[in-house]
Structure 1
Amino acid sequence: MKRAAALFASVLLSATAWAQVPVPAAKQTKPTVLVGATLHVGNGQVIEQAAVAFDNGKITYAGPATSFKGTAHETVNVAGKHIYPGLILPNSQLGLTEIESVRATLDQREVGNFNPHVRSVVAYNTDSDITPTLRSNGVLLAQVTPVGGMVSGSSSVVQLDAWNWEDALVKADGGIHLRWPSMLVAGDNSPAAQQRKQARDNALNELETLLGDASVYLKQSRDRENLKLNSLGGLFDGSKRLFLHADYGKEIVEGVRFAKKAGVKNIVIVGGGDALVVADFLKENNIPVIYSGVHALPARAGDDVYLPYKMPGLLQQAGILFCLDYDASLHGTRNLPFIAGTAAAFGLTKEQALSSVSLNAAKILGVEDKVGSVEVGKDATLLVSEGDLLDMRTNKVGLAFIQGRKLNLTDKQQYLYEKFNGKYEQGK
């Protein structure tokens, strides 16, 4: 009994020490090489018996171990394991929302219907208890996205191991989020329906005016800066993306045509429930999709019950660039790799499924030059798993690096496991 009590105490003390969010990792100080694992590059390529070397936070080699000629590297033997690029979570309120029932922990929306100048990243909380649970499953980057209103504000891409939001930034204010108003049921002429139609028309007119004013404002010399109009500037020169949140096919088409008429260059559909229905239109206009509904019920009673599972594979066949997000719940976003795993079971190959949460996401978010695949010159943001990262049975991330910095992968879930495991060990 004394031995069991001592074991329980040691486990509890250890778990308590890690109950808080781990301290961000120190900067890489010496070159490192991972040797012997199967490398899943992220672009569809798989290399057996690979080596991945990185120095000063950048990948310097990624290929067969037999061809690696580096010297003075710290060698890490990962034989029999798998190396993957860090996964990317798009369209997330990570760091903006903590506990839904506690108002003081919610900072994901602003008052008003048109807030293009709102920068969500300045409210990003690097000490969120949720963040470590994502890292231990392989999610190492996220798009911090505002909600609320018709124009919610700008999103930024962050890496998930930082002291503050400035340190976390990978790409600042890369896109403006527009939530397209729902269309009304045809033939409904009730007073309530007429009021909703009028409100929708007013909102679209106001949006058209806002985009028109911004286009004119940016072409003129000016003594004072208008933050709201200035924030829209990147939409007209292509340096920012318009993330158009829409699901219904007609709404997708209407929203894209509206944006193009206003002069918007780069458009991304978020949600995309009917993306397959308008696939030809999306392909013709070179518009990618952040698909949100893999683990959802079909939208229509007559749909194939497995259609949401099959949708990524069907989008792949249609030639549409897409990535996957997880919109069921913020606390469930750590399951992003398993969403991709579902898609792999219903039409995608394993490597295509991996790309849907890595390189494809990087391309859609405009950060493919830095992350998304394990290639020379990119950030050393990668991980090592004992087995298939997309399978919840074998996803066991033992090592993870962000910009070459080795992460502490302890999280609150692990703390709770150790706490209660110690409790039952005590009774043996």
Structure 2
Amino acid sequence: MQHRFILAAALFVSTTAAWAQVPAPAVKQAKATLLTGATLHVGNGQVVEGAAVAFNNGKITYAGPAAGFNAGGTAYETVNVNGKHIYPGMILPNSQLGLTEIESVRATLDQQEVGDFNPNVRSVVAYNTDSDITPTLRSNGVLMAQVTPVGGTISGSSSVVQLDAWNWEDALVKADGGVHLRWPAMVQTGDASPQATQRRQAREADLQELESLLAEAKVYKNQKNDRENLKLSSLTGLFDGSKKLFIHANYGKEIVEAARFAQKAGIKDMVIVGAADALVVADFLKENNIPVIYSGVHALPARSGDDVYLPYKMPGMLQKAGLLFCLDYDASLHGSRNLPFIAGTAVAFGLPKEQALSSVTLNAAKILGVDQQVGSVEVGKDASLVVSEGDILDMRTNKISYAFIQGRKLNLTDKQKYLYEKFDTKYNQEGKQVQ
């Protein structure tokens, strides 16, 4: 009995130590705050030297030259950030953050539901606010994410969350704003093998089922229903513009085919996710006002004959083509903290620096439908912003001094900092003993 008690106590202590690496969410803003002396990067392309940013009750009340600030009778707590840089909090789209923790442990994986057609799946209800990964993103200036399901043809709905909350309800910025469609891959027409024929038939069956499901949802929307059909009701927002269809497709023909399919079904707003061939069909996307979430900056070119630097150059080329786009980080979930640095890579290969910032802030907010709340440092928006000692897009100078979500000052401790300090102490102690 005593042995069991000791074992239970040991487990409790080890669990407590592990969870202690995830800081408790910040308390609601109690005092009006004024950041002064920094260079302000608004997020919309504007830069203000010697700026001041004020916020109260979680909202920005002033953003502009420090000389123009007027407290208007409000007592502001002043924070001198002279020589530093103020940025809007970055937004990570198309992410399984909070849905996946340890890939080899099935109990920590909540990103996918069984079946091919799951429009009624709400990914946000499985969102884990206590993920060890989340604080590592905040430490680099990423303060929001689009929690996105995977798998099947229709994976479910995504929501936008802020990354400092006790539970998923507190985290919500926009609930169930997008339905995710993974467009069935085309099969090479010249391939007559049994395997190719089987894949072609399966693809045709998927498209027929998808067409039927969307047609049923459109009818369901326009009639009175005594009993709710969750699958159909979750799709009705696609027909009045209250939801967006996020189409995951990479190749040019698939992008055009999927967009035309959605238009024929009566869907108003859509976004292409992945979009490796976005430049190939740029005229089509621009003509139809379809934005892009580009996924492959840190990836190999799709074709052997492509310029080896094409993925790095793609954001700059999309900008020149006049497309609305943002960047995501799909290389690995644990690497998502590197979102600012893929934007920095794009700067090195032709994308202007402030447009690169927009590609992970305001552009992402526009595409996700939350630009009235976040995405830029402007009066009336949420005070979700960061202060960096240097260029936030540069791995060498990105050092976050302060971060605020809705005016709440965040604790920037994370697991990696904890481990660094732990082993830095260990080896410093060993070095002194050797001496």
Q: Which residue does the alignment assign to 2:161?
A: 158
The CA deviation at 1:192 is 1.2
State whether structure 2 residue 29 is matched by structure 1 residue 28. Answer: yes
CA distance in 1, matches of 2:297, 2:211: 33
- Whole-Å Cα distance in 1 between the matches of residues 305 and 203 of structure 2? 29
Q: Once the two structures are superposed, what CA deviation does each residue of 1:286-316 show, in whole Å capped at 9, x if it has no partner?
A: 0000000000000011100100000000000
Q: 1:289 is aligned with what amino acid?
A: V
Tell me the equivalent position of 2:209: 206
- Is the contact between residue 386 and residue 404 of structure 2 (CA under 8 Å) also seen in structure 1? yes
Aligned partner of 1:57 in structure 2 is 58
Alignment of 1:88-237 (within 5 A): 88-237=91-240
Note the C-alpha offset of 1:42: 0.2
Separation of aligned partners in 2, 1:186 and 1:207: 22
Q: Give the aligned partner of residue 45 of structure 1.
A: 46
Matched with 2:10 is none
Q: When the two structures are superposed, what TM-score results if normalisation uses the length of structure 1?
A: 0.96
Q: State whether residues 21 and 418 of structure 2, in contact with CA within 8 Å, keep that contact through their aligned partners in structure 1.
A: no
Could you tell me how far 1:17 is from its partner in structure 2? 9.5
User: Can you list the C-alpha shifts for 1:253-281, whole angstroms capped at 9, x where unaligned?
Assistant: 00000000000000100000000000000
Please name the residue that 2:371 is paired with. Answer: 368
**Aligned 8 A contact 1:309 1:346 in 2:** yes
Q: Is the 8 A contact 1:41 1:84 kept in 2?
A: yes
Q: Secondary structure at the match of 2:125?
A: helix
User: Using the alignment, how far apart are the partners of 1:228 and 1:86 within structure 2?
Assistant: 34
The one-letter code sitting in structure 1 at the alignment partner of 2:208 is N
Query: Which amino acid is the alignment partner of residue 374 of structure 1?
Result: V
Q: How many percent of aligned residue pairs carry the same amino acid?
A: 81
Code of the residue aligned with 1:95 in structure 2: it is G
Q: Determine if contact 2:146/2:158 at 8 Å carries over to the other structure.
A: yes
Tell me the residue number matched to 2:249: 246
Cα RMSD (Å) of the superposition?
A: 0.9
Q: 2:324 aligns with which of 316, 321, 325?
A: 321
SS of the equivalent of 1:62 reads strand
Structure 1 residue 289 and structure 2 residue 292: aligned? Answer: yes
Give 2:11's aligned residue: none
1:66 aligns to what?
Answer: 67
The match for 1:331 is 334
The CA distance in 1 between the partners of 2:77 and 2:170, in whole Å, is 26
User: Is the 1:124–1:144 contact (alpha carbons within 8 Å) kept by the matching residues of 2?
Assistant: yes
Q: Against the structure 1 CA distance between its residues 137 and 191, is the aligned structure 2 distance closer, same or farther, given a 3 Å change threshold?
A: same
Q: SS in structure 2 opposite 1:357?
A: coil
Using the alignment, how far apart are the partners of 1:366 and 1:307 within structure 2? Answer: 29
Runs of 4+ in 1 over 3 A off after TM superposition: 16-19
Q: Which has the higher relative contact order, 1 or 2, with Cα contacts under 8 A spaced 6 or more apart?
A: 1
Task: Please say which of residues 375-384 and 68-77 is displaced more in the overlay.
Answer: 68-77
8 Å contact 2:38–2:50 — kept in the other structure?
Answer: yes
Give the Cα separation in 2 of the matches to 1:290 and 1:378: 23
Amino acid in the other structure paired with 2:50: Q
Q: How many residues align?
A: 413
Could you give the per-residue CA deviations for residues 25-67 of structure 1, whole angstroms, max 9, x where no partner exists?
0000110000000000000000000000000000000000001
How far the C-alpha of 1:203 sits from its partner, in A, is 0.3
1:380 paired with 2:383, answer yes
Paired residue for 2:3? none
Counterparts of residues 255-334 of structure 1 (less than 5 Å) = 255-334=258-337
Q: Is the 8 A contact 1:156 1:171 kept in 2?
A: yes
- CA positional deviation for 1:20: 2.0
Aligned-residue offset at 1:185: 1.2
Q: How does 1:387-402 map to 2 (within 5 A)?
A: 387-402=390-405
CA distance in 2, matches of 1:201, 1:17: 49
Segments of 5+ residues of structure 2 without an aligned counterpart are: 1-16
- One-letter amino acid of the counterpart of residue 374, structure 2: V
Aligned 8 A contact 1:382 1:400 in 2: yes
Q: Cα offset for 1:385?
A: 0.2
Q: Partner amino acid for 2:37?
A: G
SS of 1:178's partner is strand
- The answer on whether the counterparts of 2:21 and 2:413 sit within 8 Å (CA) in structure 1 is no
Q: With structure 2 as the length reference, what TM-score do the two structures score?
A: 0.94
Give the whole-Å Cα distance in 1 for the aligned partners of 2:225 and 2:136: 47
> Aligned AA for 2:66?
A
Indicate the residue corresponding to 1:3 in structure 2. Answer: none
Distance 2:104 2:405 in 1: 32
Q: Deviations over 1:223-251 (max 9, x none)?
A: 11100000001100011000000000000
Map 1:1-12 onto structure 2 (within 5 A). Answer: none
SS at match of 2:262: helix
2:280 aligned counterpart, secondary structure: coil
Q: Residue 9 of structure 2 corresponds to which residue in structure 1?
A: none
Q: Is the 8 A contact 1:380 1:404 kept in 2?
A: yes
Extract unaligned runs of 5+ from structure 1: 1-15
Q: Secondary structure of the equivalent of 2:334?
A: coil
Contact 1:18–1:410, Cα closer than 8 Å, also in 2: no
- Matched to 2:210, the amino acid is L
User: CA separation in 2, counterparts of 1:220 and 1:165?
Assistant: 32
Q: Secondary structure of 1:152's match?
A: strand
Matched-pair contact (CA < 8 Å) for 1:288–1:322? yes
| 1:81 and 2:84 matched | yes
- Once the two structures are superposed, the pairs formed by residues 335-346 of structure 1 within 5 Å of their partners are 335-346=338-349
Q: Residues 271 and 367 of structure 2 are in contact (CA less than 8 Å); yes or no, is this contact kept in structure 1? A: yes
Instruction: Assess if the C-alpha contact under 8 Å between 1:18 and 1:415 holds in 2.
Output: no
Alignment partner, residue 4 of structure 1: none
User: Does residue 350 in structure 1 map to residue 347 in structure 2?
Assistant: no
Amino acid of the structure 2 residue aligned with 1:142: A
Partner amino acid, structure 2, of 1:239: S
Q: Deviations over 1:126-167 (max 9, x none)?
A: 000000000000000000000010000000000000000000
Amino acid at match of 1:250: K
